[in-house]
Structure 1
Amino acid sequence: MTQRSQNERRALLGAFIGNSLEWFDFFVFGTAAALVFPRVFFPEVDPAVGLLAAFATLWVGFLTRPLGGFIFGHFGDRFGRKNVLIVTLLIMGTSTVLIGALPTFAQVGLLAPALLVILRAFQGLAVGGEWGGAVLIATENAGEKRKSLAGAWVQQGSPVGSLLATGSFALVGLLPDEQFFSWGWRVPFLASVVLIVVGLILRLRVPESDEFLASREDHAPTKAPALLVFTKAPLVLLLGILVSVISIANAYFTNTFLLAWATGPLGIERQAILNLLIGAAFVQFFVQWAAGHAAERWGRDRVILVSLGFTLLAVAPFFVAITSGNLLLIAVSLYLVIAGISAYFAVLATFLAFAFPAQFRYSGLSLAYQICSSLIGGSTALLAQWILTSSGNNPWAVAAYYATLVMLSIIGALGLARVNRKRAMSEAAATSGVAATSGVAATSEVAAAAEEDRRR
């Protein structure tokens, strides 16, 4: 095995495992917000208000994600991806363990939810810098023909993290309610201390990104790379925000809002819906693997647009099944929606990352994804619950909201595909002009640009 192949494998494994652990920490909060926090941290208000308060606390983590993207994107573009990813892992893991050790409202009053909000803010700060760095260190170390697949494997961190979070709550959920609400819910949070050690060992072995090192040789470090995103690529940033909408919103619609809705007004048993969500994580994992291969063959644009179109068509059957209360129908329709979202999500990382130049790619990728998280994705559970409550428990009002989120991502995908295609053609023409004095070299460069455009 060559040194390059070895570096590529280490980068991919480190990015995948580290990202899985970070998403576990982030998702475990969302599961607890639906099942535990209203009772433990907001016990003196109406249950519906307590649930809204818990979802608002969940949103705090999304509000700080753009700040994390800005800060860690700055350092990642100036000094490299590897060290930044070690720092984000430590911040996330420490915050999660401390949440598991928090006193309850009954013990310290308002101090308990205040501390919960602060620690959630640090979780958001960490994941704001984590995702973009993990995507880049894997895709930038991958060979040109394996970038989409590398990005898809990093995205596997989401279903694995979801599976670990939901699975851990499914296990402690077997406890009697008294034990579950007194100490059982803390176990998944406290277990994160083990994951921190595993993640650190892997992250320390990850090589720095090849493309970042090459970029440093060609260009001096930019003093404020995050600001260049707004001055040099504002349209790409806007389209990147739009295309990311449903990728973030869907996770918290299903793992948080749907979990609370199903176990509350719809009267579905807690363990049954948790089992369905575990199954959804498996569906996501295998569909994303297949989508990564499909993108290498047919192009990122096609995979993203076809999968989003399929998801939009599946929205109505999904809500018919939810309101029927039939677990089999709910499972089938949920897994169809998850399949559509997963195929798109698998390709999104690479599709979005290479829309930005290497000099400020970490900042651009992180800001696009994390601004979307803050403005749209992170409010999903809160807004869906508010829409359901204010509409008199009308499921079709929530369905319209969900369909709108999918359509926003379609608009962003169409726009970004067009921008990327124009840029690829412009770069190919420029390369052809520079190399015109050596016809063979020019033909080779244009052919390479054309091949990259096809994979887009």
Structure 2
Amino acid sequence: MSIVEPASFTEGAAASTTEIKRVVLSSVIGTAVEWYDFLIYGTATALVFNKLFFPLSDPGLSTLAAFGTYAVGFLARPLGAAIFGHYGDRIGRKTMLATTIVIMGLGTFLIGLLPTYDQIGIAAPVLLVVLRLLQGIGLGGEWGGAVLMVVESASTRNRGVLGSMVQIGWPIGNLAAIGIFAALSQVPESAFLAWAWRIPFLISIVLVGIGLYIRLQLHETPVFREIVAKNEVVKIPLAEILACHRRSFFTAIGLKLSEVTYAIVAGVFSISYVTNNLALPRSVIINAIFLAAVVALPMIPVFGWLSDRIGRKGMFYASCLFSIAFAFPMFWLLDTKDPFTITLTIVVAITFGQMIGFAVGPSWYSELFAARLRYSGASLGFQIGAAIGGLTPFAATAFMVWTGGATWLISAYLMVVAAITWLAAAVAPETARKPLN
């Protein structure tokens, strides 16, 4: 297995404090816009699409169909990672970032213009699926570039905390997505379903313009410039990864599974569960997820900082232990129907079940691969793990239909997935405080 020698000026890239701050800020803002686009779909799935695009006689089957389209976006993410990872390793990180935000924004804006099932029949859900695919492809290619812009410019001692900063785009995007839906929850139900739900999708075009402008101001990473200077650009990065770096590739997939599964159960499926199964106002669960995103803002860099101090493995072990221990209590606490208890449950689940792996992952996935293969390897491993996790709301809804409304099978599923991630963390090398290859 051939490994590129450590880039000679990777550490020097961190010498300019102003430059690294600019790279981090630009990546965070651009990623926040991308996550906003992707996450408003998840919220709308539970509140709107099951009624306007999949109006089946059985509400459970309607929700199941709607979550099926939600999963499509996750399944498309590996395709985006493969396409943009290939070109990101061949022509650079910066160009891919500008391209992906345009693709993502276009898909989101057009969803806001879609006619409903009552207006054009079966064409409505078909077009919804196509645009969701476009969203997934854009986000699938975006994440790897945004992370590498930061990780490849950071020093060894703070790569974990700086890499985690990119992930702050998720709570910012989530806060924006949940916030606008919370504001629209004041609109009467009839008006919300008639036109108000389109507003979050349509205004995304403005955010995309801002994000694109910011990303065009970035410079290419010093690591990639050196790859080009040494003539070490790989013709088909994915082929070399699958031939020579399979262990790193499958390890990255396993590391992603538990975190994304917990995120979707606590942050997406819970919306449907609390509003439909527990018959509580949608404001209860939306406010809970909103608060969880607020808590995530400071916790993400804290977890990244800790990974630089105690290592990547220890952080992942802690998250997996929590995920296993909390799998059953999470639903027991939601079933109390007490708003305060529900809020605290969602905050705890997202903070420790999702955010630890979410914060530490970017640096660890990137460190598993040599520089010339890093965009493809880290991005595709991350996105395949996310795609598998993206089936969670569909699977959870199916489990509940199968068990007659019981949640024990969902909890068991969370425990199994956490065990898989534990195993991946056990076989992965500890890379904290070591130079990038």
TM bucket, shorter chain: over 0.9
Residues 10, 205 of structure 1: 8 Å contact kept = no
Match of 1:348 in 2: 361
Please point out which of 315, 320, 327 is paired with 1:315: 327
- Structure 1 residue identity aligned to 2:369: F
Deviation at 1:3, TM superposition (A): 7.7
Match of 2:371 in 1: 358
Higher helix share: 1
String of CA shifts for 1:335-391, please: whole Å, max 9, x gaps. 2222212122111110111100001100001110111222x2110100011011101
CA contact (8 A) 2:157 2:433 kept: no
* Equivalent runs, 1:390-401 vs 2, <5 Å: 390-401=402-413
Residue from 54, 58, 63 that aligns with 2:70: 58
- Counterpart of 1:344, as a letter, is G
Q: TM-score, normalised by structure 2?
A: 0.93
Q: Does 1:170 align with 2:182?
A: yes
How many residue pairs match? The answer is 423
Distance (Å, rounded) in 2 between the aligned partners of 1:451 and 1:47: 51
Alpha-carbon distance between aligned partners in 1 of 2:221 and 2:261, rounded to the nearest angstrom: 30
The aligned residue for residue 149 of structure 1 is: 161
Classify 1:179/1:207 alpha carbon distance in 2 versus 1 (closer, same or farther; 3 Å): same
Partner residue, 1:16 = 28
2:434 equivalent in structure 1: 452
1:4 CA drift (Å): 2.9
Please list, as runs of the form range in 1=range in 2, the aligned pairs for 1:230-241 lying within 5 A after superposition: 230-241=242-253
The CA deviation at 1:180 is: 0.2
Identity %: 36
How far residue 451 of structure 1 moved from its aligned partner, in angstroms, is 4.5
Q: Name structure 2 gaps, 5 residues minimum.
A: 1-13
Q: Using CA pairs under 8 Å that are at least 6 residues apart, name the structure with larger relative contact order, 1 or 2.
A: 2
In 1, Cα distance between equivalents of 2:433 and 2:188: 58
Q: Secondary structure at the match of 1:64?
A: helix
Alpha-carbon deviation of 1:216?
2.2
Question: Counterparts in 2 of 1:131-150, with a 5 A limit?
Answer: 131-150=143-162
Instruction: Give the RMSD, CA atoms, in angstroms.
Output: 1.8
Q: How does 1:117-128 map to 2 (within 5 A)?
A: 117-128=129-140
CA contact (8 A) 2:98 2:216 kept: yes
Query: What pairs up with 1:196-235 in 2 under 5 angstroms?
Result: 196-235=208-247
Matched, 1:389 2:401: yes
Deviations 1:218-251 (A, max 9, x none): 3432111121111111011111111100222223
Structure 1 contact 7–206 (Cα < 8 Å) conserved: no
Of 111, 115, 121, the residue aligned with 1:103 is 115
C-alpha separation in 2, matches of 1:188 and 1:254: 22
Tell me how far 1:206 sits from its aligned partner: 1.4
Equivalent AA in structure 1 for residue 19 of structure 2: N
User: Could you tell me which residue of structure 1 aligns to residue 380 of structure 2?
Assistant: 367
**Is residue 82–residue 207 contact of structure 1 (8 Å, CA) maintained in 2?**
yes
Query: Does the 8 Å contact 2:39/2:173 carry over to 1?
Result: yes
The code of the aligned residue for 1:452 comes to K
Q: CA offset at residue 21 of structure 1? A: 0.8
The corresponding residue for 1:306 is 318
Which TM-score applies when normalising by structure 1? 0.89
- Structure of greater Rg: 1
Runs of 4+ in 1 over 6 A off after TM superposition: none
